Amino acid sequence: MKFKWCFGNEKEVPKLDLQKTGSEFLIDNYPDGEPYPGWNVEKILCHQIPVSKKRDIHFLLKPAVGEESSEPLILGWFEKKDPFTQEDLLDNEEAQLQDLIFRIRTSLCISYRESLAKRVVTLINDAKEEEDFTGVGIAVGSLRNFFNFIQLNTNLKCPTISLTPEYNIYASWRVEQKQVFSVHFLPNGDTRFVIFKPNDLHLERQIRISGTATTDILMGTVAPYGVWDWISE
């Protein structure tokens, strides 16, 4: 089934209630939540907007180009009572993608959560209209890797995100033309990064660095290059 995401028109999105705490927060129960050994999920989970009744969560679909009717999303997976069926559905990449977007949108630690979630949905819709589109729009592992990264580093400015030819997330923080920090989030928990920055001793020259690191040590790896100064708030 081909469909288009329509973000922001949800009819039954739970209202924000910042007073609720603890047990009502969403729980990360992904079977593949650990991208690599040693990954500490608890360390990166930030508080999310509490959802009083998970079954109230709905996204609506908008028809893709050339399709006439809209129809309610695959949804309802929160409504399933049968845990086996729910697990099956979580295996579905489409459902995982929805859940990740929901988690981005409700993560209190991400100040730009709304705009970021909208951007992700726009990317998915744009990807689905591409000539040679396959998959679900964004590589789920890549988006999860990116989400883990911004949960680990909550004081980052909102990056510009685009999709690589493999539908992976590519995030860039750019200050004018000569100062760039870009990260390609791979589905396996790795990242490939690029840094361009002015050479302080030779202002007409540029320092260019590229490398690979797992998401959890990325910021530590690039810290010596002063990246924090221009990507954090």
Partner 1 sequence: MGLDLRMKGDTIPDQHHIARYCRPTQVPDGQIQATAFMLRKGEESLSVNWCEFLNCSCRESEIDELRNIYSRKLRRVGAGAKIAVVNVGEVREKVLTESPDRRNLEILHDPQCGTVNDLSHSGIYNLKRDDELIAELILETVRETYPARK
Q: How many CB atoms lie within 10 A of CB 95?
A: 20
- Report, in Å, the least distance between residue 74 CB and partner 1: 22
Using the minimum distance from each CB to partner 1, give the nearer residue, 26 or 64.
64
Within 10 angstroms of residue 65's Cβ, the number of other Cβ atoms is 9
Q: Which residue number, 108 or 213, has a Cβ lying nearer to partner 1?
A: 213
Distances (CA, A) of 230 to 112, 180, 187, 204, 225: 17, 9, 26, 19, 11
Distance in angstroms (rounded) separating the CA atoms of residues 117 and 48? 14
> Which DSSP helix (H) or strand (E) runs through 115?
helix 113-128
Closest approach, Cβ 153 to partner 1, in A, equals: 19
Taking the complex as a whole, the smallest distance from the CB of residue 190 to partner 1 amounts, in Å, to 11
CB of 34 to partner 1, least distance (A): 24
Cross-strand bridge partners of residue 61: 5
Q: How far is the CB of 178 from partner 1 (least distance, A)?
A: 8
Q: What is the CA radius of gyration of the chain?
A: 19
Other C-beta atoms closer than 10 Å to the C-beta of 117 total: 21
Measured between alpha carbons, how far is 74 from 65 in angstroms, rounded to an integer?
A: 19
Q: Which residues bind partner 1 (CB under 8 A)?
A: 65, 119, 123, 126-127, 129-131, 160-166, 170, 172, 177, 180, 182, 184, 192-194, 196, 206, 208, 210
Q: 210: which residues sit within 8 A by CB, 6+ positions away?
A: 192, 193, 194, 195
Closer by beta carbon to partner 1, 108 or else 194: 194
Determine the Cα–Cα distance for residues 153 and 147; give it in Å rounded to an integer: 10
For partner 1, the closer CB: 8 or 72: 8
Between 33 and 211, CB nearer to partner 1? 211
Query: Least CB distance from residue 226 to partner 1, whole Å?
Result: 18
Our CB check for partner 1 shows the closer of 42 and 200 to be: 200
Which of 44/171 has CB closer to partner 1? Answer: 171
Query: Considering the complex, what minimum distance in angstroms separates the CB of residue 78 from partner 1?
Result: 28
CA dist 82 and 90 (Å) reads: 12
